Amino acid sequence: MNYLSEMLKLPVLDVNGNKLGVVNDLGIATGEVFPHVTSLAFQGPGKTPFMISWRKYVDHVDESGVHLKACDTDVRFSFLQPDELLLARDILNKQIVDTQGLKVVRVNDLKLSSSGENQLRLLGAEVGMRGLLRAVHPALEHVAARIARAVGKPLEEHIIAWSYMDLLERSTQTIKLSVSHKTLDELHPADIADIIEQLDPRLRGQVFAQLDTAQAAEAISEFDDDELVAEVLEGMSDRDASSMLALMDPDDAADLIEELDYEKAEKLLRLMGVKEERAIRNLLGYEEHTAGRIMTSEFVALPATETAACAIDAIRELDDDFESIYYVYTLDPAGALTGVLSLRTLIVADRDARLSDLAYRDVVWVAPDVDQEDVADEMAKYDLVAVPVCDENRHVLGIVTVDDALDVIAEEHEEDLQIAGVGASESGSGEAPHMLTWFARRQYWVLVWAIASGVIAAVLDAAGGASAYVIYPMCAMPVVLLAADRVVSFVRNYFLEYDEPEDGGKPYLGFFLQTAGLGVVLAALIYLCGQLVLGAAYPDEVIAMASDPSFAPAVGSAGQVPAEVLQVQAVSISFACAAAVVFCCCLAAVGYLKLLFWRDERDLNTSGTALGVSAVLASCVAYSVAVTLLMLLAVCW
């Protein structure tokens, strides 16, 4: 018996072979690296629950059942101890945190190990497909494993050792899972944030309850999802939420406060200390996505007349939770910024050296209304880990640190990728995207082409039995769909690379002329390709007959028109419509550009994939309607 699922429902037999009931759970003591099974829970007659000591009464376990070493009259029942938990009740089918893999998983089964005839130890949780199949039925697992082995893809076990497990659903906060492993509250705040974002909403509050206020503050500042932040804050009491925000860096707290409704935000601010409230309100006074909004008010600035020893003493007196110190800034008597020096400069300098003599005077600084992306660019350009934010009189208002700059770069990069139509999995995970995902993102036009061709064939057939000629518009349609997709890609790239001039003007006219010229060239090429196809496939007299306006009336009915003439007309119509739609798509490019600028000015993200799909669908509809109508006129009437 290697798994809990195999143990459950086994009969419990006394020393004489009398059946006392069936196993429904096992109890373990949690204070070991690989805990012993300490209790046996089973259901007796009438589904009455019983629990007995495993060490005292169990003799051995085999496929026939759990065999006791006492008769039924000598068995004495016991109770679950405070440091024990039940495997089926407390762990099986529950979510756990894999503190080594840093992810949330669900327990499908539990693996056990025999150590002697009457001793079992818990090794870990099975979180893979094998455990799920075994829970349904062991035979199903064996069949699936054989099939997987036959196709060269063995169905592996996925065991998380007990020493790397942390439960999320616990009936009591006093239960400790292991004395030897890294639990949830010992993980890095960024790892805790990643784990919480994977959880069901009902469990997030339970996880936060396991963290103290400082840990919760660090974890919540690492969240990427603004809605999740608001949800977590709404679920906390006002006092706890306020205390947590007060412990955070002011810029991070300001970002979180902004996600709340006005009444909730005001209540939390009023519950804070005066110093923390003032710092956060000052930051909220600046516009979004500016240096003033992302700066922190925690920095070290001293008069230039002070000594290196005074600066080091000032740093030592800072609180433990003070923002990381990268530089010390020097001020003149009026409080204006005059210089900057690094911590290394302070450490190696003589204690009596004046800061004015040590400081670098050509200081790079930014105004509070500068765009946050420009701030990040300045820091990257000058290799700075912090840049001061000053008013017009060079009074230091705060500093933007490298971690905030990296967040800005990551945010802007993600927005650019979204506009470009690249998913996060393609750009940041380092893993190859799934084949179907790749096809859906890049080759969706094939599905559009197939559906539209079927619709055109059905309409032509219903209107007069001309569906035999659908092959010609089908051949020309991919040109339309791919051209529409490429035009949107051109617009996206132009938008991403565009540097707005100081006057703020937009290049709509120049862009329109550029894309219109491109449309003329593409339309001409498509039309000429159609003519080349006709010239290579059909005699000149047939082409001339199809091009003669007086030909159709003279014939009198569609049934008398030679098939080759109808084919020439179908080819001409298909390529002419394709050329016209591609030209119109190029003219519409300026509209796509206007849309991107309009949404960008309102801080709205635009999916490049969605924009491309919309353009392809619009071009497909325009082409399908035009070619169907003209084919009906030419072939049926």
| CATH, residue 521 | 1.10.357
- Tell me what pLDDT residue 166 has: 53
Q: What number is the average pLDDT over the span 369-390?
A: 91
pLDDT tens digits along 253-301: 888 888 788 888 888 888 888 888 888 888 888 888 899 988 988 899 9
Q: Is 429 within the bounds of a domain?
A: no
Q: What is the per-residue pLDDT for 510?
A: 87
Asked if the structure places residue 427 within a domain, the reply is no
Comparing 15-29, 119-133, 183-197, which segment has the lowest mean pLDDT? Answer: 183-197
Are 481 and 593 members of one domain?
yes
Q: How confident is the model at residue 229 (pLDDT cuts 50, 70, 90)?
A: confident
pLDDT tens column, 204-213? 666 666 677 7
Domain count, the chain: 4
Place of tokens 């519950």: 271
Q: Would you state the pLDDT for residue 175?
A: 32
Residue ending a domain, among 266, 285, 304, is 285
Assess whether 484 and 630 both reside in one domain. Answer: yes
pLDDT of residue 513: 92
Are both 298 and 354 inside the same structural domain? yes
Give the span between the Cα atoms of 192 and 284, in whole angstroms: 27
Q: Are 346 and 377 contained in the same domain?
A: yes
Q: Is residue 431 part of a domain?
A: no
Indicate whether 416 belongs to any domain. Answer: no
- Is pLDDT of 420 > 70? no
Report the run of H or E that residue 196 belongs to, with start and end.
Answer: helix 189-198
636: CB partners within 8 A, 6+ apart: 463, 464, 466, 558
Inside any domain, residue 156: yes
The answer to whether residue 573 is domain-embedded is: yes
Indicate whether 368 and 487 sit together in one domain.
no
Q: Residue 182 — pLDDT band, cuts 50, 70, 90?
A: very low
Domain boundary among 358, 386, 411: 411
- Domain co-membership, 462 together with 584: yes
DSSP 274-308: HHHHHHHHHHHTSPTTBHHHH-BS--EEEETTSBH
In a domain? residue 179:
no
**Exposure of 92 by Cβ count < 10 A (0-12 exposed, 13-18 middle, 19+ buried)?**
buried
* Residue at which a domain ends, from 219, 250, 285: 285
C-beta separation of 177 from 166 below 8 A: yes
In a domain, 470, yes or no: yes
pLDDT in tens, 118-146: 778 887 788 777 877 877 777 887 888 88
Q: 487 and 622: one domain?
A: yes
Q: Are residues 219 and 352 in the same domain?
A: no
Q: Does 16 share its domain with 126?
A: yes
CATH of the domain at 374: 3.10.580.10
Choose the weakest-confidence range: 64-68, 304-308, 518-522, 560-564.
Answer: 560-564
* Residue 145 and residue 206 in one domain: no
Q: Which residues contact 535 (CB under 8 A, 6 or more apart)?
A: 543
Q: Do 159 and 188 share a structural domain?
A: no
Is the pLDDT score of 339 beyond 90? Answer: yes
| CATH at residue 236 | 1.25.60.10
Q: Which of 94-103, 333-342, 534-543, 562-571 has the lowest mean pLDDT?
A: 94-103
Query: Taking the CB of residue 99, how many other CB atoms lie within 10 A of it?
Result: 21
Strand 65-68 relative to strand 11-13, pairing? parallel
Please give the residue range of the domain that contains residue 564. Answer: 444-636
Are residue 13 and residue 140 in the same domain, yes or no?
A: yes
Mean pLDDT of 520-546: 85
